[in-house]
Amino acid sequence: MLSVEGVSFNYGPHPALREVSLRVEPGEIVCLLGANGAGKTTLMNVISGLARPQQGKVLLAGRELSGLKPSRVVEAGVAQVPEGRQLFAPLSVRENLELGAFSRRSRGERQEVARDMERALAMFPVLAQRLGQPAGTLSGGEQQMLAMARALMARPKVLLMDEPTLGLAPLVTREIFDVIRRLPASGASVLLVEQNALGALSVAQRGYIITSGQIRFSGTSREILGDVLLREAFLGPEKVTAAGEVRR
């Protein structure tokens, strides 16, 4: 479905990604693990068309995405839930959701969009009570749910999620992971970037580990979890909190 092939990206003279390759198959949840500054967000931006790779390409079902404007990437079927939510704070919850479906405006899908809105509200009932409220007034967890619901309104084939649980309470974190687990059933494969490695591995089938812009390991979640050395080497010595969060 989504494949990244040999992508390199430099910020000026500083390499941020070096020949990164990864794949996300239909119906799969794949996580990308790594420390701060390892290049995870840069890779998300390259896939979404916000940054142009100096080398390599991004393909969706065989069609090249690299070089397209971000708006075209969304239309092709790759949506992103950016780090820090990035909602349209002064706009209402409803307007945020409507704009999530902006890429579908010319396809005459009015009724489908309306139905998807209902489905999104069923998935995140808390948003249904807040439809008229400015998005900036929601709590952190609610904002994350809105950000996810908004991205799903584009009906993506692949959903990129950048640190969806960052800064959220354990209970909310669990709720978010529950939603992510259900996404493939609704038609979206997921590429999940997380620092919460245990949480991510509990929902993902496979994972990649990235350090200093290079993929160092890839395997099933079980393989990564089972490999103590790998955990020590790439995720650091860890303490696992009661919420299942890994702290280093």
| 24 touches 75 (CB < 8 A) | no
Q: Which of 34, 39, 56, 100 binds another protein (CB under 8 A)?
A: 100
What x-and-dash track marks residues 153-172 binding another protein by CB under 8 A? -x------------------
d(C-alpha 138, C-alpha 132), whole Å: 11
For residue 245, state whether it binds another protein (rule: CB under 8 A). Answer: no
- If the CB atoms of residues 103 and 173 are measured against another protein, the closer one turns out to be 103
- CA of 62: how far to CAs of 3, 17, 67, 78, in Å? 8, 22, 15, 13
| 36 touches 195 (CB < 8 A) | yes
For residue 109, state whether it binds another protein (rule: CB under 8 A). Answer: no
For residue 140, state whether it binds another protein (rule: CB under 8 A). Answer: no
At closest approach, how far in Å is the CB of 211 from another protein? 26
Task: Point out which span in 13-21, 77-85, 116-124, 194-202 binds another protein (CB under 8 A).
Answer: 77-85
At closest approach, how far in Å is the CB of 82 from another protein? 6
Helix ranges, the chain (H): 40-48, 70-76, 93-100, 110-123, 125-128, 140-152, 170-182, 197-203, 221-226, 228-230
> Helix-strand-coil percent breakdown of the chain, rounded to 5?
40, 25, 30
Please report, as residue ranges, which positions from 35 to 74 form the binding site for another protein (by CB under 8 A).
48, 50, 69-71, 74
List residues binding another protein (CB under 8 A). Answer: 48, 50, 69-71, 74-75, 79-80, 82, 86-91, 95, 98-100, 102-103, 105, 136, 150, 154
